[in-house]
Amino acid sequence: MNHFLDIHLTDPADLRGIIDQAATMKNARLGRPRGAPDDTQPLKDHMVALIFEKPSTRTRVSFDVGVRQMGGQTMVLSGSDMQLGHGETIADTARVLSRYVDLIMIRTFDEAVLTEMAEFATVPVINGLTDRTHPCQIMADILTFEEHRGPIAGKKVVWSGDGNNVCSSFLHAAGQFGFDLTFTGPPTLDPEPEFIDLARSKGVNVAVERDPAKAVEGADLVVTDTWVSMHDAQSARERRHNQLRPYRVDAALMSHAKPEALFMHCLPAHRDDEATSEVMDGPQSVIFDEAENRLHAQKAIMRWCLAV
Ligand code: CP
Ligand code: NVA
């Protein structure tokens, strides 16, 4: 049994295996209706709990569809409707759920909730986003990059904007998959220094460059995300917008990257804030491939967790 809590906590060979299996499973489904079962049904007779303490479109639907394609069943639970949201401990919730289900995916605020769930559950736990990280998203993004451009090892990824949870998981992935990452954004919204140090300790180049045009020079991939995440105070919205506006990804910024550079955004987007619609809908954008690949990447993650 394996938990999938974070990319830096997962062995690089296992991460590679997950990406490769995701690609294989995706290809095996080409041309089939979404509801058609996979040829192999590794989750047959398996019950999966999907717990959401924050809103979600992609994570909710892609996990649900993925489990069903692999022959399993799901229950989607809202944290506020569970006793968890009314004082029951995470440890007790984890022990109880482990008596009913074979796998738990949780989207929550505090990372401590995820780690406590994993500590006390006797079934695998998957991180469906915390305030600090979003590993499933970045697995889908690696799959997407490699489908379009081949191996990501040795490439230059530029993150423009807020050094948030999605950026943190990109930093973790840089160390594990061996690509370089340049962060460009205001100093108040830098990524966690601990995660920068961790990536550097694995031998990849991590740079912080305040000038966005300089940062994207030679980029193979430019990535951004919302300027106000679900865990950020709405009162900080205006200040964040003012600080982040110079880091908006527009056609002028993309022109400094390699001509074949891709553009990614995990979605949901605030169009024409963090990125212009011209870029989001342009030929370099792979945002909807990323969204689709959440399904395929997470199916492989679930199989790895359950060793099925
Ligand atoms: N990218 C992502 O996790 O989207 P949702 O919030 O819709 O799940
Ligand atoms: N950084 C965003 C990602 C949403 C998928 C958030 O946490 O709200």
Q: What is the ipTM metric for this complex?
A: 0.99
d(CA 43, CA 37): 11
Ligand 1 site, CB within 6 A: 56-59, 129, 137, 266-268
265 noted as active-site residue: no
Q: For this structure, is 141 an active site residue? A: no
74-95 pLDDT per residue, tens: 999 999 999 988 999 999 999 9
pLDDT, tens only, 261-288: 999 999 999 999 999 999 999 999 999 9
CA distances from residue 182 to 25, 61, 307 in whole angstroms, order as listed: 32, 32, 35
Helix pair 90-100, 111-120: axis angle to 10 deg:
50
pTM value is 0.98
What percent of the chain is predicted at pLDDT more than 90?
98
| In contact, 114 and 84? CB cutoff 8 Å | no
pLDDT at 182 over 90: yes
Q: Domains in the chain and their CATH numbers?
A: 7-134+294-306 (3.40.50.1370), 136-290 (3.40.50.1370)
Tokens of 233: 């105070």
Q: Which atom of ligand 1 is nearest to the CA of 267?
A: 1
95 a catalytic residue: no
From 3, 46, 132, 134, the catalytic residue? 134
The pairing of beta strand 125-127 with beta strand 103-107: parallel
Q: Which pLDDT band holds residue 2 (cuts at 50, 70, 90)?
A: very high
Give the start-end residues of each E strand in the chain: 47-52, 73-78, 103-107, 125-127, 156-160, 180-184, 206-208, 221-224, 262-265
> 114-126: per-residue pLDDT in tens?
999 999 999 999 9
Answer whether residue 304 shows pLDDT above 90: yes
Q: What is d(CA 207, CA 72) in angstroms, rounded to the nearest whole number?
A: 43
Mean pLDDT over each residue of the chain, to the nearest integer: 98
- Asked if residue 60 has its Cβ within 6 Å of ligand 2, the reply is no
Instruction: Please determine, for residue 1, whether its predicted confidence score (pLDDT) is greater than 90.
Output: no
Write out the two tokens for 248.
């908006």
- What pLDDT score does 85 carry? 85
